Amino acid sequence: MEQSAFTVPAHVALIMDGNGRWAERRGHPRWWGHVAGARTVRTVVEHCARRGVAQLTLYAFSADNWQRPTHEVETLFRLFAHHINRQSQRLARHGIRCSVIGRRDRLPLALRGAIADVERRTAAGRRLQLNVALDYSSRAAIQEAMPVHAAVRGVTRGATILPPVDLLVRTGGERRLSDFLLWECAYAELLFLDCLWPDVTAATLDAAFEDFARRDRRFGALPSRASA
């Protein structure tokens, strides 16, 4: 692990926005941007492991993304399955444990198989916990985690509440959370970048971590230099 000159956030969450625009600006179809975005995912995961991030959560597909055209949704699912299959050995080798959060029952069988496989192969990883949010809705996860919900509906779908997020970064210029980790982001530092996801590099991440290290996190208390 490389030593950093600044405090690295323990849990980083990323909203990877801007793939479609990145492709359209280059005169390509949107899927081209998703392919480029998947390459960026690999760079980012490896850089976070190198910097000593303990937990990284990626917003790959929201429950609301089903509203996109069927061909785009199918392309995304094929891309996820392809990358999960291709990367699983590499992730295991790097000590990266990969888990998927969100609903699985609506995903194609091939993708569900790839998920089960990567979770099994990487289960021993202790260097970085990588969570990929697929068919994910934070409001649904919170609702399902409520005991009253379980009592009324019977079995839950295995709702996942993750550890608190320290730094949430959204690329693509929008300034909203879009139903991502609402509970976990209670005290997260938020960083909104105008750059599009495929343009993110290791240097973008380092700049984000440096920005994070300069923030005064008080969690509701007084600033550390304040006296009574």
The residues carrying an active-site annotation are: 17, 65
The first and second tokens of residue 4, run together, are 């950093």
CB of 24 to ligand FPP, least distance (A): 7
Q: Which of 92, 41, 6, 94 is nearest to 202 (CA)?
A: 41
Does 65 engage in binding with ligand FPP (CB under 6 A)?
Answer: yes
Distance between CA atoms of residues 10 and 118, nearest Å: 23
Does 102 engage in binding with ligand FPP (CB under 6 A)?
Answer: no
Q: Give the count of beta carbons closer than 10 Å to the beta carbon of residue 186.
A: 10
User: Which residue in 9, 18, 102, 125 binds ligand FPP (CB under 6 A)?
Assistant: 18
Nearer to ligand FPP, 17 or 135 (CB): 17
Nearer to ligand FPP, 46 or 210 (CB): 46
Q: Which residue is nearest to ligand FPP (CB)?
A: 20
Q: Where are the alpha helices (DSSP H) in the chain?
A: 19-24, 30-51, 70-93, 109-121, 138-145, 147-153, 202-214
User: Which residue in 172, 188, 189, 209 binds ligand FPP (CB under 6 A)?
Assistant: 172
* Span 179-218, contacts to ligand FPP by CB under 6 A: 197
CB of 5 to ligand FPP, least distance (A): 29
Ordered DSSP codes for 127-170: SEEEEEEEEE-HHHHHHHHSHHHHHHHSS------PSPPSEEEE
Interface residues with ligand FPP (CB under 6 A) are 16-21, 34, 37-38, 41, 58, 60, 65, 76, 79-80, 83, 132, 172, 197
